[in-house]
Amino acid sequence: MIREIKLSGKANDVIDYYVTITGEDLSNRYFVESTPEGDRFFSGGNELTISADGVHYLGTGGSVCEYMFGVDLPLKDLLRKDVSNRLVMFGAFYDKGENITFSNTTTGKETFDQVFLTGNAVSNYYFFVHFSQKADLRDQQRDILRSIGKSVKRSEMVGAGDDSGFCRELFDELGDSRALTFLFRFVNRHNKEYIQTFNRLHQEQKTLTPSASAALDELAQKYNIIPYQQERIKIDGMYKLPENKKIVDEYKDILIAVSEKGEVNPSELAKLSRLRTLSLRLNIPNTLFDTLDARLLKDMNIVEVEEPDYIRETRAIFEGLFFRADKIRGHISHEDLIKLLKAKEKSSNHRDPGFESLLLDTVRACDEHARDTNDTAVLESMSNVLTYFDRYDSAATTINNLAFMENSTLTEGNIRSLYGNKEIFDAISPDIFQELFIECVRNNRYLTRYGRKKIDKLFRGLLQIRSGDSTYRELATTIQSVREDERLYALIHRYVKDRFKSIYAELNSKEDQEIFIQDLNREIQAKGIVQGPVPHEVFEEIILDFRKESFYLNNLLPHIIVSRDSQVRDDFLTNSGLDRFYVEELEKDYFGMNRIEQRILEEIRK
């Protein structure tokens, strides 16, 4: 007897569909017809019609898709680490108590634009079930959810696009041997090609080069993919990279843990801040973390040991805006402005929501004051402060991206904007720009060797532009040169680490090292890993770094584990010049391979 039938077709020039029908005996138990409205599948009062514009459905069933950025994610699903798919039942909705309520009204219609914009951008499932016994529609929907809900939300077959396996899974979970399961998968070929192109281009260079971005823009224009869809596809692609997923999932795990207890302490905020810093290096969009924060840190009780001095100073300055005396009402002095900018810098470094909360409260109070008194002096003064804060955000984002994002560089336009902001900040105080944007980055423990080089070149170049000894174009070329060395270092380091790591212990003499560099240079050129000459210093840096890694893992780390001497670790990381994030990954692998308790690793990192 027939137990499975598979069909495929095209809804239009962009959307393909695949139909899988599963049951113990399909003989004469399903029907399909082509109508002017589209292809109609029906059985036992349930049906789904596929038209050129979308889908129309009635009866039992629902829709399923793999979660990605932009898909509505209920808090209950977010808090369960093993949930990977969204399940929506026809005719179901949440009541005021967040409980699922079912109705007999399950008829609906969705356009393909809606399906792929609110659901997964590439692949979405619909299904319906023909039961052997008649029952009230709402009761059938409730029974379906009770039977399949847990497994569907966790099924790996959804993301893999395994139609036969997924349809059989649905059928088995229902527990009705006479039932029929109809499964429909819709695929947007344009979006699929876009994400495949993104993954391929990113895999080749481990980042999106300007030429890669141009290729994606051309593809988006060709297929008329809207900017929001492009962005969510890129974010999803970045998240699914193994090294990125590890960072985001660790961030989410911390948020889930604090949401369960209803408060977040300074130690947990510090961990979140560290992961945010590391995410910059991997080009992980901040939007991912902002979305998680908005869902899981909302209304969270922030445990403060004591209010920081910069918050107290900020509150005092903002409260002074509303003094009754005309001469001082709405007045912000240069000294006050400097304090506010330094407070913003400290709050950003500590990810302190107290500063932003205080700022929002003050802006609201200024609006109310202007409305109630018809006096705009306070509001105008606050607007001036906000303008400086906007300039701070612009400059800080540009400089942080340059420092912490691999292969990042600056255009002439970026440098011109930075120079303009520097001139404005310098007018407040000659050293404020360096203190706010340069020194704070230099003091960051996760700043890499090449990040430091780019920041030093940037600041020196801005000073030379001021004195007339350089131009925007020359500075952009200088930073691009450092960026190219950084790219070559990353490519060759990754290649050598995977293939020749054991050789470095044998490179005892200068002659051996030179021979190895020459052989390696010929090999990477022949294999097309890099094109063009590679500076000799890059090879020397890689060899020296591997020697340092070997010394740390084989000599220093075992001693640190036994002695719990975190100061020795910090001294080594500070003086070695090794990428701290990379070393922490080596430590994590070392502890896992040797089955050492993770609490010891956390202890030596304090």
Flag whether pLDDT at 574 surpasses 60.
yes
pLDDT of residue 357: 82
Inside any domain, residue 467: yes
Enumerate the β-bridge partners of residue 387. Answer: none
Residues 312 and 294 in one domain: no
* Banded pLDDT at 432 (limits 50, 70, 90): very high
Residues 215 and 137 in one domain: no
Flag whether pLDDT at 445 surpasses 50.
yes
Inside any domain, residue 517: yes
Average pLDDT over residues 536-555: 86
Inside any domain, residue 314: yes
Residues 283 and 334 in one domain: no
pLDDT of residue 325: 36
Residues in the chain: 606
301-302/263-264 β-pairing: parallel
Q: Give the distance between the most distant pair of CA atoms in the chain.
A: 93
In angstroms, the CA 74 to CA 93 distance is 12
Flag whether pLDDT at 327 surpasses 50.
no
Residues 120 and 239 in one domain: no
pLDDT of residue 507: 64
Inside any domain, residue 490: no
What is the domain range of residue 172?
4-188
Inside any domain, residue 87: yes
Residues 31 and 159 in one domain: yes
Enumerate the β-bridge partners of residue 358. Answer: none
pLDDT of residue 465: 94
Inside any domain, residue 491: no
- Rounded to two decimals, the pTM is 0.65
Residues 117 and 204 in one domain: no
Q: What are phi and psi of 300, to 5 degrees?
A: -75, 140
In angstroms, the CA 198 to CA 600 distance is 39
pLDDT of residue 310: 86
Inside any domain, residue 365: yes
Flag whether pLDDT at 306 surpasses 60.
yes
In angstroms, the CA 561 to CA 549 distance is 16
pLDDT of residue 593: 87
Average pLDDT over residues 72-98: 86
Flag whether pLDDT at 603 surpasses 70.
yes
Residues 512 and 428 in one domain: no
* Banded pLDDT at 302 (limits 50, 70, 90): low
* Banded pLDDT at 329 (limits 50, 70, 90): very low
- 214-223, 452-461, 532-541: least confident range: 532-541
Residues 59 and 182 in one domain: yes
Residues 138 and 180 in one domain: yes
Q: Which of 462, 485, 508 marks a domain boundary?
A: 485
Q: Which of 301, 334, 366 marks a domain boundary?
A: 301
Average pLDDT over residues 563-585: 87
* Banded pLDDT at 176 (limits 50, 70, 90): confident
Counting the structural domains of the chain, the total is 4
* Banded pLDDT at 328 (limits 50, 70, 90): very low
Quick one: the chain helix, strand, coil %, rounded to 5? 60, 15, 25
SS (H, E, C) 303-371: CCCCCCHHHHHHHHHHHHCCCCCCCCCCCCCHHHHHHHHHHHHHHHHHCCHHHHHHHHHHHHHHHHHHH
Residues 437 and 404 in one domain: yes
pLDDT of residue 498: 61
Burial class (CB in 10 A: 0-12, 13-18, 19+), 32: middle
Enumerate the β-bridge partners of residue 433. Answer: none
Enumerate the β-bridge partners of residue 127. Answer: 62, 183
* Banded pLDDT at 554 (limits 50, 70, 90): confident
Inside any domain, residue 493: no
Q: Which of 188, 222, 237 marks a domain boundary?
A: 188
The letter for the amino acid at 419 is Y
Q: pLDDT tens, 377-408? A: 888 888 898 999 999 999 999 999 999 887 78
User: Cβ(127)–Cβ(197) under 8 Å?
Assistant: no
Q: pLDDT tens, 133-147? A: 888 899 999 999 999
Average pLDDT over residues 184-207: 89
Q: What is the mean pLDDT of the chain?
A: 86
* Banded pLDDT at 503 (limits 50, 70, 90): low
In angstroms, the CA 495 to CA 491 distance is 6
Side-chain-side CA neighbours of 290 within 13 Å: the count stands at: 6
> Of all helices (H) and strands (E), which one includes residue 184?
strand 180-188
Flag whether pLDDT at 23 surpasses 90.
no
- Highest-pLDDT range among 1-10, 235-244, 286-295: 1-10
Residues 122 and 221 in one domain: no
Instruction: Give SS3 for 18.
Output: strand
The letter for the amino acid at 183 is L
Enumerate the β-bridge partners of residue 8. Answer: 18
Residues 146 and 216 in one domain: no
